A and B are shown apart, each in its own frame.
Chain A
Amino acid sequence: MKGQHAARLQLRHKYLFFKESLFVRDIVRDRWLYFILFPGILYFVIFKYVPMFGLVMAFEDYQPHLGFMNSSWVGLKHFERFFTEPQFWILFRNTILLAIYNLVFFFPLPIVLALMLNEVRNKIFKRFAQTLLYLPHFVSWVVAVGIFYVLFTTEGGIVNELIHRIGIEKIPFLLSEDWFRTMIVSQSIWKEAGWGTIIFLAALSGVDLQLYEASRIDGAGRWRQLWHITLPAIRSTIVILFILRLGTFLDTGFEHIFLMLNSMNREVGEVFDTYVYMKGLTQGQYSYSAAVGLFKSMVGLVLVLGSNWMAKKLGEEGIY
């Protein structure tokens, strides 16, 4: 009888301790917060984390009717196939070349454009120019590529009409391997270069105006001011954006390239992402294409972390 009583007392103590423990108290206090948090977390688990675990299919011969758990395990078969195929080097070359083209021809333009806008003293003109330059960013890639299509097609496109009128033969801009990268990069420039100025303009707005005044008293003209004050002021922004750009080096713009691809330019236009889509969803080689996708994601992860590490080394705040 006495023992029973002691045990009950102990239980009651445990219960009280449980009730008073900080952890439980906090959970109970924040019950409504957890309640509204739940759907969002569920979203991340289902649509972000389950696919990550779904990547095991890259090591299987995945059969949709068997599922992730029951398909047969084949190890690195798909990776071996991918790395020994000539297609690998074509994709590698196409992706790298497009990325380099973008870095060389696209990257400097927002900086130049921002510097030009920054030199504009007329507020109304500046705002007007910005309004026009930002607009293409908001149209879809279908519209952007569509606009280029109707302008550059050999069948009644205005560009080829004009070329034809001055006596040069029509150029199949959209159906040729030679023009593919040029078209991709010019479309990116037309759509995104204006928008890209925002971050540089923000950096430029932080420059101390007294520096300009002082330099003017010292007799510096506009070019000298640009070179000795403005550029150094945004140098760190340029460096960090360049490094972060290296982190997303392989992301050549999936929708954009997908829309530009056709049977005439596939040889130079196919990149890792579009290849995954074609092999996986149109040809049904699920495991193989998941392996290609995993390879690309891993390289991308290494690049992002590497570039972020580099940015921090240079004394900048990283993104993560």
Chain B
Amino acid sequence: MLAEDKHWSNRLFNTANYSLLILIALITIIPFVYIVAVSFATPEEVAQGGLLLFPSKFTLGAYKYIFSTDTMVRSILISIYVTVLGTFINLILTSFTAYPLAKATLRGRRTLLLMVLVSMLFSGGLIPTYFVVKAFGIIDTYWSLMVPTAISAFNLIVLKNFFQQIPDSLEDSAKIDGCNDLGVLFRIVLPLSMPAMATFGLFYAVGHWNSFFNAVMYINDAEKFPVQVILRQIVLLSQDQIGDTTSQQDPTDYLPQTIRMASIVVATVPIVLVYPFLQKHFAKGVLLGSVKG
């Protein structure tokens, strides 16, 4: 370590830098901590007000209430279903489309790539897309949450670039052993691309779980709302009566505040669970290749 590092101006620089970063990190994270704390707190403690970061008495009342209502449980199950099946569709279609486009000798490749690129630059927009989905007859079905977003053009091109980096010699040797193109894809290319597929899978899955607006557009039947739509109703539109009115439990037992926060926690927990994996792969997802064709 050089002597300059111990100079007072450097120490001041470091102290200021570290303290500011700690402050910023706290601003980022305290809202989460506060919301988790309130969701577990008793209504009495919440009523006292103040910045509650650790409840003195834990209670699962708000969660018990949420999970006693049909609405929230159903919407969570719907979101899990759409996320799992939707991500599966995403990965199959994206890799099946990316692999042929990675072949330099494929006839029509440039035209097809241009087609993908143009779709990133210009879109028909909300209204015409809505009518196409409607013409398909999938309005008010879960397919409307999965099929119209089946392939992300950006992910497709990044995956195509990734496939191109796989050495041709590997694929050629498999072909000499009698594999056709499908065999090469399933036995060589996809196994080699597992980290990339995992990354895209995570990003697609988070997208499905967080997706809100497609459901607002395509789902009218309240019984088919995914979790984000229900969350909006509870938190933003203040529809405290999330359960049916015949529910045995009296909602006034708990302050709506604790229920609202518990709903936020429930809708966020899956993201936090996969977050370590997301973080591990994030740089690849962001920096993997450019969008060049």
Contacts and interface: CB of A to CB of B under 8 A. Distances in A.
A281 B100 contact: no
25 contacts: A30-B100, A30-B106, A33-B106, A36-B96, A36-B97, A37-B96, A40-B94, A47-B133, A52-B122, A54-B128, A57-B127, A129-B22, A141-B210, A143-B268, A145-B236, A147-B31, A156-B255, A162-B51, A190-B28, A223-B13, A255-B212, A277-B217, A290-B127, A296-B125, A320-B291
A113 B21 CA distance: 8
Given A34-B100, A151-B31, A320-B117, A131 B9 contact: no
Interface stretch (A12-20, A97-105, A194-202, A230-238): A194-202
A46 B130 CA distance: 12
B105 interface: yes
A277 B214 CA distance: 12
Interface residues of A, number: 91
Interface of B: 2, 4, 7, 9-10, 13-14, 17-18, 20-22, 24-25, 27-29, 31-32, 34-35, 49-51, 93-94, 96-97, 99-101, 103, 105-107, 112, 115-117, 119, 121-134, 136, 147-148, 150-151, 153, 156, 180-182, 185, 206, 209-213, 217, 228, 231-232, 235-236, 255, 257, 260-261, 264, 267-268, 271-272, 275, 278-279, 282-283, 286-287, 290-292
A44 B271 contact: no
Interface of A: 23, 26-27, 30, 32-37, 39-41, 43-44, 46-55, 57, 64, 113, 116-117, 119-121, 125, 128-129, 131-136, 138-143, 145-147, 149-151, 156, 158, 161-162, 165, 190, 194, 198-199, 202, 216, 219, 221-223, 254-255, 258-259, 273, 276-277, 280-281, 286, 289-290, 293-294, 296-297, 301, 304-305, 317, 319-320
A146 B229 CA distance: 12
Contacts, number: 264
A319 B9 contact: no
Contact of A36 (B153, B185, B211): B185
Given A146-B235, A150-B260, A41 B123 contact: no
